[in-house]
Amino acid sequence: MPGLIPERFIDELLARVDIVDVVQRHVPLKRAGREWTARCPFHDERSPSFYVSPSKQFFHCFGCGAHGSAIKFLMDYEHLEFPDAVEELAQSVGLKVPREGGDQRPREDKTDLYALLDAAARFYQNELNKSDNARAYCEQRGLDAATIEHFRIGWAPAGWDGLKRVLGTNEYRLKLLEQAGMLSTAERGNKYDRFRERLMFPIMDRRGRVIAFGGRVLSSDQSPKYLNSPETPLFHKGRELFAFWQVRQANTKLERLIVVEGYMDAIALHQAGVTQAVATLGTATTHEHAELLFRAAPDVVFCFDGDRAGRSAAWRALESVLPRMRDGRQAFFLFLPEGEDPDTLVRSEGGAGFEARAAQALPLSEYFYSELSRDVNVATIDGRARLAEHAKPLLAKLPDGAFRDLMYAELEKRTGLNTGTTASTAPTRAPTRTPATNHTPRRTLVRSAIAMLLAEPSLASEAQTPYAFGALDKPGVPLLIELLDVARARPGINTAALLEHFAQREESAALQKLAMIEFPGEREALRAEFVDALRKLADQTVQQRLDALIRKQAKSSLDEIEKSELRELLARKAQPVSSAES
């Protein structure tokens, strides 16, 4: 495992690069006042609603809601994972990425591993040409030559050391083979080929490099049916998707991804012209997959067999996507007739037949409620209560936004006391796309303070610790404190870098929205406004404590310490500092 990238380095990197340059390399920008603008690279549009702010060092699209730092831009635009985007940016400004803990070796060491795995793929491809059995199998499964070439499908020959003999020609290469997960170890310590007598599917990373293999037996009396590479320095199966590289090759703009269960399913779909199909690698869909999928396309269709196993896999997939269902993202669930998989289906119905079924896939909301209502009788109050009981902890996982609101509204509709008729009626289709919301939520004092701090992180130096409002019990206060702490610890941090610290948090979307707020006018005026907001928050803290003490006094009684605290607070209130806002 590579070590973690220190946060401090991310700050430094974001201070060093200019997001205008970074975006400009991919998208032609035009100046528009203090900002730069372009037609959004992340959605189709005629007139530009994509803005890049040099002062805040972030981009934002008013059309689709895409936003973030230079790192985020590269992640979205080039479909890179965070460490790779950081690496690329760092290289562009001549910085070297330091790593904390973990593997300290430079990344160059991995090039040998990549080269070895590529050679292994070529070896298997060659072997396929030599094996009549394997070629006959491919033919029987309907794979044409172009598909075999495109997916680099190969054949691992029988015997114990076909690959080892060809590629493991010295100690170093043997060690690499082992590191790459291509060898197994016998009880007595002998090494032998991990993959034997299997059709081989190379798994490629987002740059088209072979990082692992999946192998499938030809006849059903051999087991296991599928064998994957183990986890290696290059391969973490929870993070990879089979055929993702081919999807990226075939589609410049991805509106949709289809997730299937097997390699052959994904390949058959591609061959039938459905070039947005990927497969998870013999694992249930993880949170990481969900994020990866949605980062690549706004719509994700999960495809499952209609049998019991398929149903339970679908529910697990639903649970893993819930926390990732930000506005603008849609998940669909497609159940195939029992006994069919995408492979058999495209062979009988063709790509168009599959597309027609995909168009009928259940939106997440519909699948969610129909599945939860399956074993409860929503005609009864008990049943509706149980439905609510089952739904609430799941809905709580949804990130803030319009989709979450809609899901709760649907729950109220389904369980509300005045609806006695929902028992047998088909679930209503929830609106399929929630528009990206541009409006800013009601601006409370805390929100205003956060917005000002995001606009001008150097304002953090105005706050003294311990924060006078630290004990204030209001939404957003802990977040404001965290933001202040980060900004104070890193003088000179810019808006994008500050936001990047919260990129993995559920508050991230809300922070991005607040960071969009412009504060026109002089910086000094903003400073005064910020100081005033902090003072008002401090006043509110005093008032809140005062109210609590008075309430307690009325109910029971105060001890000596509390009494003296109360006297002190009342005295402080008597001197007018500023008008407390409620």
Binding site for Zn ion (CB under 5 A): 40, 42-43, 61, 63-64, 66
Give the DSSP letter string of 89-110.
HHHHTT-----BSSB-S-GGGH
* Four-point Cα dihedral 148, 150, 155, 161, nearest 10: 170
Least separation in angstroms between CB 316 and Zn ion: 31
Least separation in angstroms between CB 349 and Zn ion: 35
- Identity of the residue, 44 or 149, whose beta carbon is nearer to Zn ion in the bound complex: 44
Burial 289-300 (b: 16+ CB within 10 A, else e): bbbbbbbbbbbb
Is residue 96 classed exposed, middle or buried when 0-12, 13-18 and 19+ CB atoms within 10 A define those classes?
exposed
How many Cα atoms are found within 13 Å in the side-chain-facing hemisphere of 543? 14
For residue 445, give the amino acid letter.
L
Residue 363, beta-bridge partner list: 332
Strand 299-305, strand 256-260: pairing: parallel
Least separation in angstroms between CB 207 and Zn ion: 25
Least separation in angstroms between CB 77 and Zn ion: 12
- Identity of the residue, 66 or 268, whose beta carbon is nearer to Zn ion in the bound complex: 66
- Identity of the residue, 61 or 199, whose beta carbon is nearer to Zn ion in the bound complex: 61
| 115, two tokens | 């080269």
Structural contact between residues 258 and 294, judged by C-beta atoms closer than 8 angstroms: no
Least separation in angstroms between CB 50 and Zn ion: 6
- Identity of the residue, 66 or 325, whose beta carbon is nearer to Zn ion in the bound complex: 66
- For residue 228, the surrounding DSSP H or E stretch is strand 226-228
- Identity of the residue, 436 or 449, whose beta carbon is nearer to Zn ion in the bound complex: 436
Least separation in angstroms between CB 113 and Zn ion: 37
Q: Cα dihedral sign for 373, 375, 376, 378? A: positive
Least separation in angstroms between CB 436 and Zn ion: 8
Least separation in angstroms between CB 66 and Zn ion: 5
Q: Measured between alpha carbons, how far is 135 from 140 in angstroms, rounded to an integer?
A: 9
Least separation in angstroms between CB 80 and Zn ion: 19
- Identity of the residue, 42 or 77, whose beta carbon is nearer to Zn ion in the bound complex: 42
Q: Measured between alpha carbons, how far is 229 from 160 in angstroms, rounded to an integer?
A: 17
Max Cα–Cα distance, the chain, nearest Å: 95
- Identity of the residue, 47 or 219, whose beta carbon is nearer to Zn ion in the bound complex: 47
Give the DSSP letter string of 465-519.
SSPTTTT--STTHHHHHHHHHHHHHSTT--HHHHHHTTTTSTTHHHHHHHHT---
Least separation in angstroms between CB 245 and Zn ion: 25
Number of other residues whose CB lies within 10 A of the CB of residue 516: 19
Number of other residues whose CB lies within 10 A of the CB of residue 99: 19
Least separation in angstroms between CB 59 and Zn ion: 10
- Identity of the residue, 296 or 387, whose beta carbon is nearer to Zn ion in the bound complex: 296
446: helix, strand or coil:
helix
Helix, strand, coil % (nearest 5) of the chain?
50, 10, 40
Q: Measured between alpha carbons, how far is 457 from 289 in angstroms, rounded to an integer?
A: 34
- Identity of the residue, 214 or 328, whose beta carbon is nearer to Zn ion in the bound complex: 328
- Identity of the residue, 30 or 563, whose beta carbon is nearer to Zn ion in the bound complex: 30
| 323, two tokens | 């926390």
Least separation in angstroms between CB 39 and Zn ion: 9
Structural contact between residues 168 and 192, judged by C-beta atoms closer than 8 angstroms: no
- Identity of the residue, 59 or 244, whose beta carbon is nearer to Zn ion in the bound complex: 59
Q: Measured between alpha carbons, how far is 47 from 577 in angstroms, rounded to an integer?
A: 50
- Identity of the residue, 39 or 141, whose beta carbon is nearer to Zn ion in the bound complex: 39
| 409, two tokens | 């509204």
